[in-house]
Amino acid sequence: MKLSKERHLFGSAFTFFGHINHRDTYIAHLEINYSIVGSSINSKSKLLKQIADQYVYMGYDVDFYHEPLVPERLEAIVIPELNMSITGYQVKGSKKVLDLDQYLRENVMDGYTEELAISKDYYEKLMDQVYGNLKKTKINHDKMETFYTPNIRFKEIDKVTADLLNRILKF
């Protein structure tokens, strides 16, 4: 039995442009896609982790794609040897979609409709603040860059890099 390799990556990020994902770069070329959907992010993540651990146990290499806001949570896994992904979101052309909400007891969330709406509203307002602050940070970074970039001596850096590489290769 071969030892499996785990890679832990981010397939999306929160930037000053908003929430950006690169799912197409690691999902689109795969032959088999399964989607796990539902309102509980934690449940989807836990299920992805359990599935991934089983594939690791069986000796498969697994790529773990973590959520950018809460890196402990998973948003997708890819098993390259099987040309397969399992995601915590809907993928067009999925072979199978598992909706975890179908396993909720009926009416269990009915008493929390207002609280859920308020929480969602707070989350969206806070994320809008995050994007605004990231935009301000980007503007300040670009301004600072105008001061130090003209003073970087790229040719000297290239020479030092080449000299260092030559010294390393002599060993």
What was the pLDDT predicted at 106? 76
CA angle 108, 123, 142 (to 5 degrees): 155
CA distances from 101 to 36, 82, 164 (A): 10, 28, 58
Q: How confident is the model at residue 36 (pLDDT cuts 50, 70, 90)?
A: very high
Sequence-distant (6+) residues with CB within 8 A of 90 are: 35, 37, 97
What was the pLDDT predicted at 161? 95
Sequence-distant (6+) residues with CB within 8 A of 11 are: 21, 22, 23, 25, 26, 65, 75, 76
For residue 68, pLDDT over 90 is answered with yes
For residue 126, pLDDT over 80 is answered with yes
Q: What is the mean pLDDT of residues 26-41?
A: 93
Residue 170, SS3 per DSSP: coil
What was the pLDDT predicted at 34? 97
Task: Look over the chain and give the mean of its residue pLDDT values, rounded to a whole number.
Answer: 93
What was the pLDDT predicted at 108? 79
What was the pLDDT predicted at 104? 83
Q: What is the mean pLDDT of residues 127-141?
A: 95
For residue 1, pLDDT over 80 is answered with no
CA distances from 65 to 3, 83, 124 (A): 20, 16, 23
What was the pLDDT predicted at 35? 97
CA pseudo-torsion sign 76, 80, 81, 85: positive
For residue 113, pLDDT over 90 is answered with no
What was the pLDDT predicted at 136? 96
Q: What is the mean pLDDT of residues 73-101?
A: 95
Q: Which residues pair with 42 in a beta bridge?
A: none
For residue 116, pLDDT over 80 is answered with yes
Q: Which residue has the higher pLDDT, 125 or 107?
A: 125
Percent of the chain at pLDDT > 70 equals 99
Q: Distance between CA 22 and CA 59 in Å, rounded?
A: 27
Domain regions of the chain by residue span: 6-103, 110-169
